[in-house]
Structure 1
Amino acid sequence: MSVTIDIAGLPPERISVVPSPLAELGMALHALSEPGHHPQLQGWVTAVSTRLDPGLADRLCEADFLWRTTFSDVFAPFAGIPGGRAQPGATLAEELDQLDMLTDEQFVHAALEFTCQPRYDIAEPGPLDDPELRRRSLELAAARGAVQERVTRRLLEDPPAVRAWFRQLVLDCDEAFFADTWARLQPQLAADARHKTELLRRRGLGEALASLSGAVSLDEEAGLITVDKLLVGRTAIGDGGLVLVPTSLGWPHVMVLHRYGWQPTITYPVSGCHPQAPSVEQLTLRLEALAHPVRMRLCRHLARAQHTTSELADAHGMSAPEISRHLAVLKKAGLITSGRRGRYVQHQLDLSAVARLGSDFIEGVLR
């Protein structure tokens, strides 16, 4: 599974690396609403939450469908501007002006992503035009509570009023906490954007994309960017450009805006702060490897000390070839390491790799 971007014929001058204050505010709001996704931001989340005005906190609860369960494209309005060549504004005010350039249909489509619209990457009528989609949007909103149903109804009945409401909410967040946060993060994001731009100029798009995340790759011959994600999507550059947006608050998320008719955009975590997440294939291999009870018991032995295949066979009452097959699965998944000592090959669990799967597993095998 992956999201692909067809960039056939895309000249280098139409590739931009640009920080976005509005996108980073969206990341900040997501971290505030889902702190469990971002444990490294716990201190910042606590500091902001404790001083947040109760009235503003209530308004954020009304709007959290824009950033809690999905990252709404209202935080990337530049991508929806016709022509596909616009870039994020340098300030929140500039990006809010870009938001005003979107049509009501674009704004409503982007705001109602949480209603799980059937297709994201093809042209389809929206709930402003289609009574059945309107009914379905309200039904899905109601399933998430009275507050979201009320906001969705307002959105469908008066998009300009909701757009003005959202604009004021952004400005109030900026005054309450985000201006200080952006002042601290902006230099880091700008420096990363300059570094990626220079890498793009000197080494080419392939190396620049590889530096964003291990999840992003380029097939130069096919003219195809692939982003390794647990979803399937596709888009094409056409006559537009490609925008890469660095984020400091967004790790571990790597996001691809591939909405039909919008400019493709990849939002990536800035370099050097966090370990790379495994690919979807590697994650699948690890989970499948650990799903077998024998391999779970082997992990318990190998978490405590190094063992040879013969030692493991004796301990588990199995033949050496059977143990070897299970060890091969664990090794392919990157969960064990092996090294020779004299005549013997010894195996041990790679605790650093396993720890990233979760502390519950570590505690279980060490208990």
Structure 2
Amino acid sequence: MSVTIDIDGLPAERITAVPSPLAELGMALHALSETGHHPQLHGWATGVSGRLEACLADRLCEGEFLWRTSIADIFWPFAAIPGRRTLPGATLLDELELLDKLTDDQFVLAATEFSCMPYRHTRPEASPLTDPEARCRALELAAARGARQERFTRRLLDDPPAVRAWFRRLVLDCEEAFFADLWARTQNQLAADARHRTELLRHKGATEALSSLSNAITVDEEARTVTVDKLLVGRTSTGDGGLVLVPTGIGWPHVLVLHRHGWQPVIIYPAQASRPQAPSVEQLTRRLEALAHPTRLRLCRHLARGPHSTGELADAHGMSAPEISRHLAVLKKAELVTSCRSGRYVRHQLDLSAVARLGSDFLEGVLR
């Protein structure tokens, strides 16, 4: 499973790395709502939540479904501008001006993403503002998520300008309450990361630059595709537009890919200084499958206590040496066991650091 971006015909000069204050605000709101996704930000989130005025806290609670389970595409409106080559604005006001350029249809479809609308389809979407069937479907999906979501969707469909004004006011109030301080502290780091990617593009080429964003991203030079290793399936293309790379200082472990039909593809990636490395979904699956076998779990118990030879493990478990070797091969392929020669014997030991990271690696894999 993955999201694929077709970059056939895309010259390096149309790949741009640039920070986006509105995208970073979306990440910040997500981190405030889903502290379990971002344990490293627990102190920051607690401090911000404790300082919020009650009125703003209530409004954030009212609209949190726009950024909690998934971050609505209204946080990167530059991608929807015709021509698909517009870049993020330098300030929140600049980006809100880009948001104002979205049609009501674009705004509504981007804002109803929380209800699992099928926005990843490769064909144009029917607008719930003009298509009665699409309207019923939007309200039905929103109702399934909860009463607040249904009320918001009904209000959005009945009066898009009012919801636009509500969102604009919310963004500006968040800037005043906490985001201006956050952006002042992270803006230079994100700009430096974007410059680094630009230098890689200029001197090493697109493959090197795109692969450097995350170990979840691979480039097939022959097929001219960029693949982002995620637990979902999607596809988009740059066409005659561009590809925008947006660094985030607060978004790890998420790597987000905007692949909405007709919008410019965007990759939102953790800035280099903010991210640890984790295995791919394929590696993670291999490790979990290796540990799903009861015999291999029992072997891990022995190997966690010290190095053992194949013969010692065979005697301890009442199995033949070839059987033990087969199980060890699976554990070694999953990079959970290391081996070293000691005289006549090869001794095997559990890689405790790799096993200790399994929980966090799994969490990153499902959240990425």
Q: Same fold (TM over 0.5)?
A: yes
1:150 aligns with 2:151: yes
Name 1:102's counterpart in structure 2.
Answer: 102
Q: Distance in 1 between matches of 2:6 and 2:105?
A: 25
One-letter code of the match for 2:202? R
Q: Secondary structure at the match of 2:28?
A: helix
Q: List alignment gaps of at least 5 residues for structure 2.
A: 363-368
Whole-Å Cα distance in 2 between the matches of residues 203 and 160 of structure 1? Answer: 46
Q: Pairwise mapping of residues 171-320 of structure 1 onto structure 2 (< 5 A)?
A: 171-320=172-321
- The alpha carbon displacement at 1:310 in A equals 1.4
1:17-28 to 2 correspondence within 5 Å? 17-28=17-28
Query: Take 2:144 and 2:27, find their aligned partners in 1: how far apart are those partners?
Result: 25
Q: Contact conserved, 2:250 with 2:274, CA < 8 A, in 1?
A: no
2:366 corresponds to: none
More moved, 170-179 vs 288-297: 288-297
Q: Which residue of 1 aligns with 2:365?
A: none
Aligned letter for 2:238?
I
Instruction: Give me the whole-angstrom Cα distance separating, in 1, the residues matched to 2:64 and 2:45.
Output: 16
Say whether the 8 Å CA contact 1:121–1:235 is kept in structure 2: no
- Name stretches of at least 5 consecutive residues in structure 1 with no aligned partner: 362-367
- What are the Cα deviations for residues 319-348 of structure 1, in whole angstroms up to 9, with x where unaligned? 111111111111111111111111111111
* Counterparts of 1:183 and 1:75, CA distance in 2: 19
Question: Is 1:32 the counterpart of 2:32 in the alignment?
Answer: yes
Describe the superposition over 1:161-184 as per-residue Cα deviations: whole angstroms up to 9, x where unpaired.
Answer: 101101100111110000000000
- Aligned-partner SS, 2:71: coil
Cα offset for 1:132?
2.4
What TM-score, normalized by structure 1, do the two folds share? 0.95
Question: In the TM superposition, what are the counterparts of 1:341-360 in structure 2 within 5 Å?
Answer: 341-358=342-359
TM-score by length of 2: 0.95
* In 1, Cα distance between equivalents of 2:5 and 2:253: 21
By how many angstroms is 1:121 displaced? 3.4
Note if contact 1:121-1:258 (Cα within 8 Å) is conserved in structure 2. no
Which stretch shows the higher mean deviation, 138-147 or 226-235?
Answer: 138-147
TM superposition shift of 1:241: 0.6
CA distance in 2, matches of 1:250, 1:220: 28
CA displacement 1:106-152 (0-9 Å, x = unmatched): 11111111211235132121322322222222222222222221111
SS of the counterpart of 2:348? Answer: strand
Tell me, in whole angstroms, the C-alpha distance in 2 between the residues paired with 1:4 and 1:311: 47
* Secondary structure at the counterpart of residue 251 of structure 1: coil
2:115–2:142 Cα contact (<8 Å) kept: yes
The DSSP-based 3-state class of the residue aligned with 2:347 is strand
- Whether 1:51 aligns to 2:51 is yes
Contact 2:81–2:102, Cα closer than 8 Å, also in 1: yes
**Residue correspondences, number:** 360
| Cα deviation code 1:235-260 (max 9, x no counterpart) | 11111111000001000111110100
Contact 2:17 2:198 survives alignment (8 Å):
yes
Report how far residue 154 of structure 1 moved.
0.5
> Are 1:338 and 1:348, in contact at CA under 8 Å, matched by a contact in 2?
yes
Q: Could you tell me which residue of structure 2 aligns to residue 112 of structure 1?
A: 112
Q: Secondary structure at the match of 1:128?
A: coil
SS of the aligned residue for 1:231 comes to coil
The amino acid that maps onto 1:259 is R
Is 1:161 the counterpart of 2:162? The answer is yes
RMSD: 1.4
SS at match of 2:330: helix
Distance in 2, matches of 1:273 and 1:119, equals 30
C-alpha contact (below 8 Å) 2:6/2:224 kept by paired residues:
yes
In structure 2, what is the equivalent of residue 89 of structure 1?
89
Identity of aligned residues (%): 75
1:309 & 1:132 partners in 2: Cα distance? 65
